[in-house]
Amino acid sequence: MRYFLEIAYHGKNYYGWQRQPDAISVQEVVEDALSKLLRTEVNITGAGRTDTGVHAKQLFAHFDVDFLADVKQLKYRLNSFLPKDISVQDVFEVTPKAHARFDATQREYEYWITLEKSPFLNGLAYLLRKNPNMDLMNKAAEILFQYHDFQCFSRTKTDVKTYHCTIKKANWEQKGSKLVFTIAADRFLRNMVRAIVGTMLEIGYEKMTLEDFHTVIQHKNRSNAGASAPAHGLYLTKVIYPESIKIKQ
C-alpha cells in the first residue's frame, strides 16, 4: 500500500531534502525514523529537492508498506521520534501508483526579505539594509509570464531534459518590514527561485533595467542573471495534487 507524508521543516541544519552520501539531509532523517518505527527498511520519494538551508512549510513524500493499521498513531509516533526542526503534518493513503514528484501539478514558493534586524527572523529571512523599488520588481515579475524557457535561472550543472516551466503566479508584497515574493509554477529548476529573486533585486536597486531582464531570459545564460539570493530566505509553501490520488476513508 502507498502512503503520503506531509512534512514541514526548518532547513538550517540540513544539506537539503535529498539523501547525501556524506552529509545529513531531511530525507535521511525521516527515512531512518520511519524504518525504526515500522521495523523494516523504508525508502521515501519526495515531491522535489530543496537545496541546503532551504525551508519547507509543505512537502509531500510517498512510501510503500504492507499495511498501516492507524495512520494517526504513526503521525504521533513519528513526531516524537523526529527532531524539533522536522514535523509530520499528515499521513494518508493514496492510490497505488500515486507519485509525490510526478503527480504534483503545481508547486509554490515564498522568498522572505526583512528590512529590519529581527531576532525572530534570524535565519528565516534575508536582511537588507536598503529598500528596493517594489514597483519595478513587480513589473519584472509580470515579465516572467511571457516566457517558458528559464535556463538563465538554472544551476549550470544539472541533468534536466528541458528548462521549460509554466509560471502561474509571481508577485511581491510588503508586510510591514518584510517583503515576500510568491511564485508558483508547474515545475521549478534547481536554484531557479533564488536566481530570480537575486536578479529582481538588481532591478529593484536599479542596477538592471526591465529591458535587461528580457534580454537575460532570452539569452539563456546563467552568468547574465543576478547572484542567487541566500538559501535561508526561501520556503517551499505548497504542493498541489489531483484529488483523485487520495483514497477517501
- pLDDT computed for residue 49 by the predictor: 85
Average pLDDT value for the chain: 95
Are the C-beta atoms of 88 and 75 separated by less than 8 Å?
yes
pLDDT attached to residue 249 = 65
* % of the chain beyond a pLDDT of 90: 89
pLDDT of amino acid 90: 95
How far is residue 158's CA from residue 152's CA, in Å, rounded to a whole number? 13
- The answer to whether 94 and 62 have CB atoms below 8 angstroms apart is yes
Per-residue b or e along 205-236, where b marks 16 or more CB atoms closer than 10 Å to that residue's CB: beebeeebbeebbeeeebeebbebbbbbbbbb
Amino acid 157: pLDDT: 72
Domain with CATH 3.30.70.580 in the chain: 2-102
pTM for this model (two decimals): 0.94
51 assigned to active site = yes
Distance between CA atoms of residues 197 and 73, nearest Å: 40
Strand pairing category for 106-114 and 234-240 = antiparallel
- Give yes or no for residue 161 having a pLDDT over 90: no
Span(s) in the chain for CATH 3.30.70.660: 106-237
- Catalytic residue, chosen from 32, 51, 66, 103, is 51
> 74: left (phi > 0), else alpha (psi -120 to 50), else beta?
alpha
- Looking only at the bridges linking them, the beta strands covering 126-127 and 106-114 are parallel
Instruction: Burial-class residue 192 by CB neighbours within 10 Å (0-12, 13-18, 19+).
Output: buried
Count of alpha carbons within 13 angstroms of residue 155, beta-carbon side: 11
pLDDT surpasses 90 at 70: no
| Phi, psi (deg, nearest 5) at residue 68 | -115, 115
23-49 per-position pLDDT tens digit: 999 999 999 999 999 999 999 999 988
Are 7 and 85 within 8 A, CB to CB? Answer: no
CATH for the stretch 2-102: 3.30.70.580
* pLDDT per position as a tens digit, 106-154: 999 999 999 999 999 999 999 999 999 999 999 999 999 999 999 999 9
Per residue in 191-206, pLDDT tens?
999 999 999 999 999 9
Q: Strand, helix or coil at 107?
A: strand
Architecture of domain 106-237: 2-Layer Sandwich (3.30)
Highest mean pLDDT among 17-21, 50-54, 160-164, 194-198: 194-198
Give the per-residue pLDDT at 245.
94
Judged against a pLDDT cut of 80, whether residue 64 lies above it is answered with yes
Q: Which of 214, 190, 210, 195 is nearest to 111 (CA)?
A: 195
Q: Identify the pLDDT of residue 14.
A: 95
Residue reference for cell 512537502:
59
